[in-house]
Structure 1
Amino acid sequence: MSSDADVPGHLVNQARRLAAECFPDALSVVLAGSVASGRATTTSDLDIAVLIADGGETRRDTLRFEERVVELFIHTRAGLGELFAADAASRRGVMQHMYADGLVLRERDGAATRIKQHAEDALREGPGALAPATVESRRYALTDALDDLVDAADVVERLVVASVVLSTAADLLFDHRRAWTGSGKWLSRRLLQADPDHGGALLEGYRRLCEEGEPEDFADAAVEVLALMGGPIREGYARTWRDATEPAAR
């Protein structure tokens, strides 16, 4: 989590103005996302979590405030509990990270402080382990995708297959480290947090493939992740249709 000094003051002030204008009765307002983490750019939006009184509607709104896009995550206490549970089940911990890493703009009776503590505890505990059948299915999917990566002669096909290799290898590595996952830009950030060595090798190999067309380092990095999880699976892999936990590789 960044310190307050890392957060651009004009963006914090803008978020405070929005909170005062749009949510004067909120129980807490927390600024999160790239702005709170010190990664803001000139076009970064404001990600803001708003705790409202019971009886309100838990929802997500997008608006424009003072020419800046704002993503609002509005919730009651009960709604936040449901969001925490859903984010734990998805292994992404979106709301947990927003509160744990966010900057409190306003709160009543320590509401945001208590939620932040709860979120920090949940993040330290980490997500639960994937079911063994799910791990096996993803090992098979990664084995299959790596075969396709090596065989791909078409540049576009190779890049598409590489994205499958990256996401599947990342899922396995996150599970191995019992770490929270991410998507989009957060995938790379979470990978480096979870395992700087293996995650870094995956990302660097993927960069080389995309920029230079060289798949070898990327494939080697994915194979190393497979080795951590028991190695590739080809012959002998089987599953029933009814009990399948994952879609087929294709």
Structure 2
Amino acid sequence: MKRPTAIDAAKEFIESHFPTSQAAILAGSVVRGEETSTSDLDIVVIHEQIPSEYRESLIEFGWPIEVFVHNQQTIRQYFQSDCERARPSLPRMVAEGIPLIKHPVITALKQEANSLLRDGPPSWSLETIERKRYFLTDALDDFIGSTNRGESLCIANTIGELLHEFVLRTNGHWVGSSKWIIRALKEYDLQFASEYVHAFEQFYRKDEKNAIVKLVDTVLDGHGGRLFEGFSMGKK
């Protein structure tokens, strides 16, 4: 049998599993027009009778479903914690989501989520920037000196994470993980995102390190260059 559309499946799911909930929102790739053959339904539920928040994964109505269940207090707490770690997963879901059950709280939550997304993450302190410079420098030195292909692959992965975080946080932008690394970089600067992808492709495909080294150095040069000598952490 053909499975129902994303919106129909999400509504059936709420009616079946959360008939007394106050509000529900469908979010994720299916509402952004970016769904693939493996996309799931991300559903945020507001239910004032639950004692604490929880997340659950199910398969219903032909769809894999990720449900995030909150009351009004816990969802706002998660808004703040997501923003503090600079990965606004829940605010983004609420901001972009489609209401499945309409309730005045959705309007309020969407306003709060959009405000948080617009303001960006907390700024890094100079001490944090110095520490991140050091970690990025350390990984780059390991990468340059590595002669083991397997080890180099792992170091490159670490550099990719550190570099994207450094660029985005020092420019006041949200960071991502997995596929959201590239999406976050594109939101910041399409040209830089293209250079980032190109640099890592050169290494993964051709074992050429120069593009990654050059890209990292270009980023670090804007903050004083590589940092090793004189760096300390925790010294009394």
The corresponding residue for 1:12 is 7
TM-score, structure 2 length as denominator? Answer: 0.92
Task: For 1:140-159, list aligned pairs within 5 A.
Answer: 140-159=134-153
2:167 to 152, 173, 177: 173
The corresponding residue for 1:229 is 223
Are 2:221 and 1:239 equivalent residues in the alignment? no
Are 2:56 and 1:61 equivalent residues in the alignment? yes
Separation (CA, whole Å) in 1 of partners of 2:91 and 2:185: 17
> 5+ unaligned residues in a row in structure 1: which ranges?
1-8, 243-250
The corresponding residue for 1:160 is 154
RMSD: 1.6
Amino acid at match of 2:11: R
Q: Which moved more, 1:111-120 or 1:48-57?
A: 48-57
Are 2:34 and 1:39 equivalent residues in the alignment? yes
CA deviation after TM superposition for structure 1 residue 199, in Å: 3.1
Number of aligned residues: 233
Question: In the alignment, is the contact (CA less than 8 A) between 2:50 and 2:70 conserved in 1?
Answer: no
TM-score, structure 1 length as denominator? Answer: 0.88
CA deviation after TM superposition for structure 1 residue 159, in Å: 0.9
The corresponding residue for 2:73 is 78
Separation (CA, whole Å) in 1 of partners of 2:223 and 2:31: 35
Secondary structure at the counterpart of residue 62 of structure 1? strand
2:194 to 191, 200, 219: 200
Question: In the alignment, is the contact (CA less than 8 A) between 2:9 and 2:63 conserved in 1?
Answer: no
CA deviation after TM superposition for structure 1 residue 86, in Å: 0.9
Amino acid at match of 1:101: E
CA distance 1:143–1:30, change in 2 (3 Å): same
CA deviation profile, 1:148-169 (whole Å, cap 9, x unmatched): 1111111111111111111111
The corresponding residue for 2:100 is 105
Separation (CA, whole Å) in 2 of partners of 1:164 and 1:197: 22
> 5+ unaligned residues in a row in structure 2: which ranges?
none
Separation (CA, whole Å) in 2 of partners of 1:104 and 1:95: 15
CA deviation after TM superposition for structure 1 residue 13, in Å: 1.3
